[in-house]
Amino acid sequence: MGADTSGTSPRRSFDPEAMVKSAVRSMGRYQRQAAPDRQPDRQVRLDWNESPHGPSPKARAALAEFEHYHRYPEFDAGSLRAALGEYVGCPADQIIAGAGLDDVLNTLAMLILEPGDRVIISEPTFGVYRPLFSGHGAEVLDVPLAPGWQLDVDAILDAVNDRTKMIVICNPNNPTGNLFDPADVERVCAEAPCIVVIDEAYAEFAGVNHVPLMEKYPNVSVMRTMSKFAGLAGMRVGYGAFPASVVDYAMQVMPAFCNVGTASSAVAIASLNDLEYLQGVTDTIIADREALAARLREIPGVEPMPSATNFMLVKLPVENAGPIAAELANRGVFIRHFGRPDMGLQPYLRVSIGTTGENEIFANELEDILKGLNG
């Protein structure tokens, strides 16, 4: 005879929706461009702002000689943080590293954000900010860029309330590629009663360094990455200079080993010992950017925007450049298109600067597609 279960409650079914944080259920997702209709024979990747030249010789040598895959990294990534601090001009004990800049931003979010806190961004800007911070339960408020893609400082400061924990400024800005007025950036730092994060992912191409602002204002944090100028996108090494007043707390939430593997740390340090080579690569990318801009101006109706980065925004003579981006992908040329109408970028493509040959392929294919439309 079976056991008597008449006195027990019926077993409840598993509800996966109830397991997931409400903030995560409502957040958007940062995605790649849609896959092409057909698999192209070639792939010219100009969509993720990577370096087409790869790591420096010293970085390649460090990886080739690396033998310590069986060992954990330094628990606090001390050697890496010291090298990064020396490079950027900040004490090593104020540096927090991570598996890419997104990871460092996540550490900052874990440090200061609670559900209901406000984070202010200015779109169009880096698409990771909104889902990352909203995933921590924050209200992510967009104060749109002013005409000319400049900061609307008055509107930003007016949007600050007693729940505002963070203002994020991406400078140079992605995806527009431009630098903001230094006076506008400093005014936000000076007048905002919260953390001001300056994302300098493309600083090496623009010749900017906001770390000196940290010496004037105790609320400034500067973020950087080894992915772009150093060609280490696949190694995932980002870092941030945190305000001295909160860095001790940041060390409490920073993941063990900074989430940076031993090999990645060794390659990043080697790269920082090869700066003359990397400066040459940076100069080459800037020259190729200007050459591509000149080539694109030869195409009727095409207007490349000024850029201080390793990519450029390109305005096309159409209302919506999405179908052109899709056709480029069908031809094996991958770029980015930002389709949200509220961001005002529908007529634009964002193209990373590739090799001279890759840039020419992009320009030729774009010209051919536009000729077909005009025809």
| In a shared domain, residues 199 and 212 | yes
Report percent pLDDT > 90 for the chain: 83
Tell me: the pLDDT tens digits for 328-371? Answer: 999 999 999 998 888 889 999 999 999 999 999 999 999 999 99
Give the pLDDT confidence score for residue 34 in this predicted structure. Answer: 65
Give the pLDDT confidence score for residue 137 in this predicted structure. Answer: 94
Question: Total domain count for the chain?
Answer: 2
What CATH code is carried by the domain that includes residue 178?
3.40.640.10
Mean pLDDT of 287-292: 98
CA separation, residue 235 to residues 83, 111, 178, 311, 354 (Å):
16, 25, 27, 21, 19
| In a shared domain, residues 101 and 219 | yes
DSSP-H helix ranges across the chain: 16-19, 22-25, 57-64, 78-88, 101-112, 129-134, 153-158, 182-191, 203-206, 211-216, 247-253, 262-272, 275-297, 322-330, 356-374
> Does residue 228 belong to any structural domain of this protein?
yes
pTM of structure: 0.91
Domain boundary among 222, 250, 273: 273
**Contact at 8 Å (CB) between 240 and 63?**
no
Tell me: the pLDDT tens digits for 161-198? Answer: 999 999 999 999 999 999 999 999 999 999 999 999 99
Q: How many CA atoms lie within 13 A of 8 on its CB side?
A: 6
Give the pLDDT confidence score for residue 20 in this predicted structure. Answer: 74
> Does residue 18 belong to any structural domain of this protein?
no
Of the two residues 318 and 14, the one the predictor is more confident about is 318
Mean pLDDT of 24-45: 71
Position 21 pLDDT exceeds 80: no
Give the chain's largest Cα–Cα span. Answer: 88
Position 81 pLDDT exceeds 70: yes
DSSP 227-281: SSTTS-GGG--EEEE--TTTHHHHHHHSPGGGG--HHHHHHHHHHHT-HHHHHHH
**Contact at 8 Å (CB) between 150 and 176?**
no
| In a shared domain, residues 250 and 291 | no
Give the pLDDT confidence score for residue 26 in this predicted structure. Answer: 66
111 lies in which domain range? 57-273
The DSSP bridge partners found for residue 197 are: 168, 221
| In a shared domain, residues 237 and 321 | no
Q: In the block, which residue shows the tokens 């109408």?
A: 341
When mean pLDDT is compared across 9-13, 23-27, 262-266, the lowest value belongs to 23-27
